[in-house]
Amino acid sequence: MAAKETVYVISDSVGETAEFVVKAVATQFNGGNIAIRRSSYVEDTEDLEDAIMMAKQGNSIIAYTLVVPALKEYLDRRTKEEGITAIDLLSPLMDAFIKKFNKEPEHRPGLMRRLDDDYFRKVDAIEFAVKYDDGRDPRGVEKADIVLIGVSRTSKTPLSMYLAHHRYKVANVPLVPEVAPPDEIFSIQRGKCVGLIITPDKLNEIRKERLKALGLTSHANYASFERILEELDYAEKIMKRVGCPIINVSNKAVEETASLILDVLKIERSSTR
């Protein structure tokens, strides 16, 4: 049985991009029956020499993604001296970016991996916000980066999702006079919880609109001033017991409130150090 043709993939990062491209090309030749040998996180010329010698012995191709100029220049020179075919997978597109957008690349390896990690942290935070929304599971209070407490219609859920898109794991807990809040919020770490309040007039307006959207009468107890004042008074007592900073969300956009939340928590955390 004939030995497989081999392509050496060299990268100053993981090398996944180069390997994917090589595999895509290889499928066009004999169904992709080719061996790939990856040299990842190449940091110096010694690492390059190892891969160059192996490629020379096997009469193989080198495909590489090197963003550090010194490593690229060394590899180009040495492969030319050794008569090895070396394919630069990044430079053509990199050069096009430079010419078209008139910007210089950072020449730092691993940036794609950092972007991937950032993306997955965001996904985790969004899933967390959904799982621990509206006090669904009090265990989220202990796991969260930020905990929001307040009466219904103080933007707890929109704020949780907005902050999740900024990679914060947020749990929110509704405060209702008839339902005791979870014990976890009273032992919460300082600098982690924020109470959300709103003026009675604004809450009345919002709740009436909510009832209208649901096809219900605006005279329901949910939107009555007496009920709203009762809830706000109860929520204030809980927030004082928790000892958390309080933000009034009346007439504030979600983005503005989120910024205030991060600011006050930063102050709270710094005061405990």
pLDDT band at 30 (very low <50, low <70, confident <90, very high): low
264 in a known ligand binding site: no
For residue 249, the one-letter residue type is V
pLDDT on residue 140: 94
152 belongs to an annotated ligand binding site: yes
* Nearest-10 Cα torsion for 12, 16, 17, 19: 100
Span 116-167, pLDDT tens digits: 677 788 888 999 999 999 999 999 999 999 999 999 999 999 999 999 999 9
Rounded-to-10 torsion of CA 54, 58, 63, 66: 10
C-alpha–C-alpha distance, residues 183 and 253, integer Å: 30
Report the b/e string of 153-163 with b at 16+ CB within 10 A.
bbbbbebbbbb
Residue 156 marked as a ligand binder: yes
5-11 and 34-39 as β-strands: parallel, antiparallel, unpaired? parallel
Task: Please indicate if the annotation marks 218 as binding a ligand.
Answer: no
- Find out whether 173 is annotated in a ligand binding site: no
Token pair in block for residue 145? 């980066």
Structure confidence by residue, pLDDT tens digits, 78-87: 999 999 999 9
What is the rounded average pLDDT of the residues 203-228? Answer: 87
- Cβ neighbors of 117 (< 8 A, separation 6 or more) are none
7 is in an annotated binding site: no
- 17/64 Cα distance (integer angstroms): 9
Q: pLDDT for 222-240, tens place per residue?
A: 989 999 999 999 999 999 9
Tell me whether residue 85 is annotated as binding.
no
Annotated ligand binding at 150? The verdict is yes
Mean pLDDT for all residues in the chain: 89
Q: Helix 254-271 crosses helix 156-164 at what angle (to 10 degrees)?
A: 70
Residue 121 vs residues 130, 165, 206: alpha-carbon distances, Å: 14, 9, 33
Average pLDDT over residues 55-76: 92
* Element at 196 (helix H, strand E): strand 193-197
Q: Distance between CA 95 and CA 12 in Å, rounded?
A: 19
Question: For residue 4, what pLDDT is reported?
Answer: 72
Task: Return the pLDDT at 2.
Answer: 46
Beta-strand pair 86-88/146-150: unpaired
pLDDT(66) > 70: yes
The domains found in the chain, sorted by start residue, are: 5-109 (3.40.50), 117-271 (3.40.50)
